[in-house]
Structure formats: C-alpha cells, structure tokens
Amino acid sequence: MPETGPVSDELAEISGEEERRPWASWPLALAVLVTTAATVWGWRQHLGDLRPGGPGLVGDELGPAATGPAGLWRSALDGWRGGGLGHDHPPEPWLLPWTAPTLLVDAVAGPGGAPNAAGVALGWLLLAAAPVALVTAYLALRRVTHRRWLRAALALGWAGATPLVSATQDGRVGPVVVHLVAPLLVAGYVVAATRGGGTRRTAAVFATALGVALTAQWVPLVLVPATVAGVLVLLLGSRGARWRGAVLAALPWALLLPWLPALLTDPVRLLGGAGATVAAPALPAGAPAWQTALLVPGAALDPSDLSAAPLWAALVAWAAALAATLLPGRSGRRAGVLVVGALLGLLLALLAPRAGLGVLPAGHAEAGLTVTAWNGSMLSVSGASLLLATALFVDRSWRAEGPRRREPWRAAVRRPRAVVAALTAAVVVLAALVPLAVAVWRPPADGLLAAPPALPPVAAAQADGPSAPRTLVLTPVGENEVVVDLVGREIEPARVLRDRTTELAVGVGPAGPVEEVARTVVSEGGDRAVAGLLELAAGYVLVAAEEDHPLVGRVDALPGLTRVGGPQGQVLWRMSDNEAARVRVLDADGGLVSRVPSQGPHGVAAGRVEDLPDGATLHVAEGTGWSQVARVAVDGEDVAVGADGEVALPEGTHDLEVRLARPSLPWHLVALVLTLVTVFLALPFGRPEPDTTEEEEP
C-alpha cells in the first residue's frame, strides 16, 4: 500500500480534511452562556409575548401572523391563497421553511394549540438569532483556525454585528437568516476553491449549495453573489475545483425549481425577500457610502454617538483582513480571496440603495416611493468574509510570532515580536466585541412590539368555526376616506414579511367586490348592503373608530346587524340571522338551504346536504379566478364549477366535497427528490482522505 505524503496543518484546516475534533469546547460554552444571558435580558419584556400561546411580535417589516403550520403549508401549495377573497399570485418561497419552526411551536403548545403559532415562530427566530449566529460563526471559523478562544471571541462579535442588530430591530426575518448562515456559506466556498479532493470536502460543497438554496428562499438576492462566486471557482479554480464551482453555481437554482417561473417572469423578485426591501422618497437611501463600507445598513449613524462604536470596530476588521493578504504563501492568497468576497458583498451593498427597482403605484399605502433592496443582507455576506480573513490574520500572526506553548511569560515579553503579536490579537478581539456590547446597551428587541389581535375574540373564534365567516373591517381615514379590509382565517403573507418587489410585480388591482360592498355599506345601506355582506361571507362588520364617529351610526342603521361591542377604539356588529358562511347551498330563489362545514382555507369544505330541492346551487364566497383551481365533487364524482364559483346540484341527499388543486405540487416533488439527494451527498461518509496535491509554501 503506497504511503501518503505529508499534509500541512493549514491545508487540513481550510479543506476540512483534518483529524476530527469535537466541535464543542469550553470557550464556546462560555460564549453561548454570555450571549444567551444578554439576549434574555434584552428581550425580557417580550418573553411573555413569545410563549406558545402568545400573540407574537410586530415591527416595521414584520406583521402579525395568526395561523398555524397547516395554514402556512396550504398557502405555499394550494392554487388559491392569501387574505380576503384570495388570489392565485405565486407563493412566497419562504412559506415552506417557515412551516418547520411553526410546527415546533404548535407541538410545544400542547393539545390546546397556538392560534398565533406562525407569528410566535418568527419571534423565536429573532430571539435566538444572536446565540445561533455565535454558533454558526464558531463552526465556520474552524476552517481558518483551531484556536478555540479566538473563534469564540470573534463569534461573539458576529452575534452582535450591526447588520444583525438592525435586521432584528426592524423585524427583517430574511436578512436575519442571511446573517446566521453567511459565515458557513463563505467557509464552504473557500473549501470548494481549495485544491485537492476528499469526502468531507465534497460533502461541504453540497452542504454549501443546500445552504445557499435555503437562504435564497428568504432572500433571493443571495443567489447573485453565490452564483458569481461559483462561476469564479469554475473559471479560475484548479482542475479538481472546477466541478465544485459548477455545482455551487447551478445546484442552488435547481433546488429552487418550484419558484423559478415567478423569478424569471418578474426578475425584480430576485432582488427582494422577506423583509429585505426599503421604500424611500429619494435615492440614494440610507447611510453614506463610508458608513456602508463599515458594515452599517439602513439609516446613517452619528459618528460622535456611542451607538456608532461598531463603525470603528469594522475599521479594525478591514485593517486586519487587508493585512492578512500580506501573509506569505497560501495564507496570503486565501486572505486575498476572502477580501475579494468582502469587496463583492460591499459592492452589492453600495449599489442596493442607489438602484431603484420601481415606484409603488397609486392606491398603495406607500404610493410614489421608490423601492430598493435593503443592503444589510449583502453587508452580512461582506462581514462574514472579513470575519474569516481577520481570524486568519490573527491565527497566522500568533503562530509565527506569538508566545510559544509552555513558554514562560517573562521570556515571551522579552521578545518584541511576541508582544506585538499579542497586542495585535488583543486589539482585534476587543474591537470584535464592541458591537455586542452596543447591542446589549441598546437591545434590538426595543424596536418590536406585541402583535395586536387581527380581530376581536368573538369574531376570531367564529372564523375558525364550521361557517368560517369573515369580518369586513372599515377604518376611517380623514373625513371622507375609509380603508377597507376583509379578514378571515387566512393570512396574507405579504403583510407578515414585507417584500415590496412582490408588490411591484403584482401591482394594485382595480376595485373589486370587497370595495363595492364597503361602498354600499358606507353610502347606501339597506338590504343591498346586507346581501353584499352575505356574498362575501362577512358575518361581522368592524369599524375601527370610536362610537361617536359618523360611520358607526351609518353601520348601526343597517338591517340585520346587531352590535356586539368590541375592543377599545373599535365597534363590532354581527349578522343577526347568522346566514354568512363560506360555502352555502341556495335554492332557486336564493334562500339558504344548508351550509357545508368548512374544512380549510378558501372554500375547502366537506359534508352531507339533505333533501336538496330542484334548482339548488352551491355558492362559494371566493374571488374571481377561484373556479379555475377549485374541484367540487358530488358523491365522489367531480362536477363542473361555473366561472362565478357556482355549482348546480341534483335533488336529494348528497355528499359534497370542495377542494383546491395544487398546480405546483409536481415541481415541489421534483425539488424534494433533488434536495434529498443533495442532503445525502452533503453527509461526510467515509474516512477523511489526506490530500497530497499541495504543500505549504514558505
């Protein structure tokens, strides 16, 4: 059996082919303890809101999410989705990964369930962001140094980095996910660019591609630097690395197969994400370029204020990363690659607030404002590259000139180079800890609030009942304007995690049935208004105003409505005859024969209807286009659905079932198979293989 050649420790570290060592350590445990304690202290006022049965949180880019895992699942897969009467717009890619933590919240809640499980799950993600960022950075730094104290200290700084703090403060869940995964992705690309082979290196490549795809579900913009980096490895890498570059450039796109049609049809979606956009009155928006270069996203900071201390900490990181490029041999070249990655992320971060993606149309709440990508996501990518380059510099400097193991400290201080190496390491580490200290002083949770209930308790309880009635919400704005909303059991994902690129692609449609009924309620009243409410399955009317507002008097005058009180600042009415329902069977004269019990969102129902008269029809209160994806079965046999959502029913007693088609399900199954194969290839089976293709250069 031939004997393998020597392998340098440095090559083993960066390629992942080193002797396996336990990933946990006491520096990591101590760092996690410190970060967790700081997080609990900063979030103490919101811990009650994040209990499994709590309301969840809201922020500038985060709305309430009163649904559970089933609601998210169906919103991601059903052909009809969204709030109000629904629509067939492409589903948001982040709905499926959001289902996983929501399932956890629902399971912890126990038999009673959690009505706001989806919102609480997002709150948990924001709460755990700092400790998780610490762990991911610690693991990624293993690829450039085995010094556990150094990895733990720099990871602490990453847990308090400005992009993460700003994203958490605004409720930008997508950029938070990017920050958590960015160090691992950067380390994965560095592994892919290294010469040689081995099972663990191959596994790291597929794991990185999987991580890019998962992150891109939250912020598709990540695909841009990820694809560019993969192409660079393909074109400039060694012969053994080129196939890895091809995998990293192409595989994430393939894993996103179900959502590619929407991205290709409306390319502007590629530049958005869950909470990853900004609406600004003028360009450029946000901080000046020099502050962006120092990893500050969003609004400008006052350099003289203590909250601007992370600016100068980032300056130290840039200096250390640039100094690392002067290291001899492969270390310097590797640092150069990391600095190029940091510059690529910075370039995209500088372009983001200067590149308008479109102007929000008339009728939008932010009409006339220009949409841009939020640059914090790309600053996380840039910062992750700086993080690894900084660790590389400190590690190699310490290795070359620092105190030797078991060397008496009196002897070490007599060597000027050892003193310089120790002071350099201390400055870099202390600078890295500055952002975390500022985050503890001004916790990001201060920008979040407890989520208000979408509906009064009585209306919310009925919305989950067999009739699933909706509530028509009227909010007076000024003297002559009323904002209209139709709220039911379903959520509108665009209102939970704001993505203005989706709003640009969809636009503001013309006034529909909801606006017409609201106009009738406000202006005309009478039986016509009540009939319109029944067509919307609106069993409740809510006016978001005090009792002395003129609109309250007009709604009070409607026949068939009974006031049932409401929370402070709101007045609620319900339909007296209780005929409102999503799925109704009407006779030839329009009278109610029966209600079919609701089994899910947007008209999904099943039940037995007895003694149907001649001319009976099934009416489903959904929007235009619902009939294209609806399937109605009578006694197990599918029947035709009219364009208006009506279905003619035969006389007698029958079993009815209303369900929704899932047009994208085959593509999801293909993507699932591809994902499972990728997960299998990402598992580091076999023993690590020594690499003899390179030796450390002097």
Residue 653 CA to residue 607 CA, distance in Å, equals: 11
Structure-block tokens of residue 483: 């904002």
Sheet hosting strand 370-373, strand order edge to edge: 277-280, 370-373, 358-359
Which of these, 65, 146, 82, 212, lies nearest to 623 by C-alpha position? 82
* Measured distance CA(187)–CA(407) in Å, rounded: 33
pLDDT at residue 309 in the model = 86
Tokens in use for 528?
Answer: 């016509």
pLDDT for 487-545, tens place per residue?
Answer: 998 999 988 999 999 989 887 777 789 999 999 988 887 888 888 999 999 999 999 99
Single-letter amino acid code for the residue at 525 = G
Tell me how far apart the alpha carbons of residues 103 and 122 are, in angstroms, rounded to a whole number. Answer: 12
Contact predicate 620/604, CB 8 Å: no
Tally of CB atoms within 10 A around 421: 21
Select from 182, 244, 254 the least CA-distant residue to 211. 182
Contacts of 345 (CB under 8 A, 6+ apart): 225, 378, 379, 380, 381, 382, 383, 384, 385
Reduced to 3 states (helix: H, G, I; strand: E, B; else coil), residue 281 is coil
- Residue 419, pLDDT score: 64
> pLDDT tens digits, residue range 551-574?
988 898 888 888 987 788 899 999
**SS3 for 296?**
coil
Both tokens assigned to 549? 């507002």
- Quickly count: other Cβ atoms within 10 Å of residue 685's Cβ: 10
Cα 455 from Cα 115, distance rounded (Å): 12
End-to-end CA distance of the chain: 30
Contact between residue 287 and residue 372 where contact means Cβ atoms under 8 Å apart: no
Instruction: Write out the H or E segment, with its range, that includes residue 243.
Output: helix 239-255
- What per-residue string of b and e applies to 39-58 under the rule 16 or more CB within 10 Å gives b? beebbeebeebbebebbbbb
> Measuring CA to CA, which residue among 424, 513, 431 is closest to residue 472?
513
Cα(145)–Cα(275) distance, integer angstroms: 34
Give the pLDDT of residue 403: 57
Q: What is the mean pLDDT of each run of 10 residues along the chain (698 residues)?
A: 40 42 76 94 93 93 93 94 92 94 91 87 96 96 91 94 94 97 95 79 92 97 95 86 92 96 92 93 85 89 82 91 89 90 95 91 85 95 96 84 57 58 78 86 87 90 91 87 91 91 84 88 85 92 90 88 86 86 90 91 92 91 91 92 87 93 95 96 66 35
* CA atoms within 13 A of residue 52's CA, in its CB half-sphere: 14
User: Which residues, 6+ apart, have CB-to-CB distance to 413 below 8 Å?
Assistant: 419
Q: What are phi and psi of 419, to 5 degrees?
A: -65, -45
556 vs 572: CA distance, rounded Å:
10
CA–CA distance, 39 with 210 (Å, rounded to integer):
29
Q: What is the pLDDT of residue 388?
A: 96
485, β-bridge pairs:
473
- Radius of gyration from C-alpha coordinates of the chain: 29
3-state secondary structure of 647: strand
Q: Which amino acid is at 125?
A: L
Which residue in 202, 212, 210, 183 sits closest to 241, CA to CA? 202
Q: CA-CA distance, 455 to 515, in Å (whole number)?
A: 19
d(CA 79, CA 257): 17
Tokens of residue 660, six digits = 């929704």
Between the alpha carbon of residue 516 and those of residues 42, 80, 510, 624, the distances in Å are 47, 22, 11, 14
> Residue 479: what residue type?
E
CA–CA dist 273, 92 (Å, integer): 9
Q: Which two tokens stand for residue 649?
A: 């029913």
Among the listed residues 412, 394, 391, the one whose alpha carbon sits nearest the alpha carbon of residue 403 = 412
φ/ψ region of 468 (left if φ > 0, alpha if ψ in -120 to 50, else beta) reads left
- The number of angstroms, rounded, from the C-alpha of 271 to the middle of its chain's C-alpha atoms is 14
HEC profile of 287-356: CCHHHHHCCCCCCCCCCCCHHHHHHHHHHHHHHHHHHHCCCCHHHHHHHHHHHHHHHHHHHHHHHHHHCC
Q: Mean pLDDT of all residues in the chain?
A: 87
How far apart are the C-alpha atoms of 518 and 484, rounded to whole Å?
A: 7
SS3 of 423, please? helix
Query: What sections of 110-172 are H helices per DSSP?
Result: 117-127, 129-141, 148-159, 162-170
State the maximum Cα–Cα separation within the chain, in Å, rounded to a whole number: 104
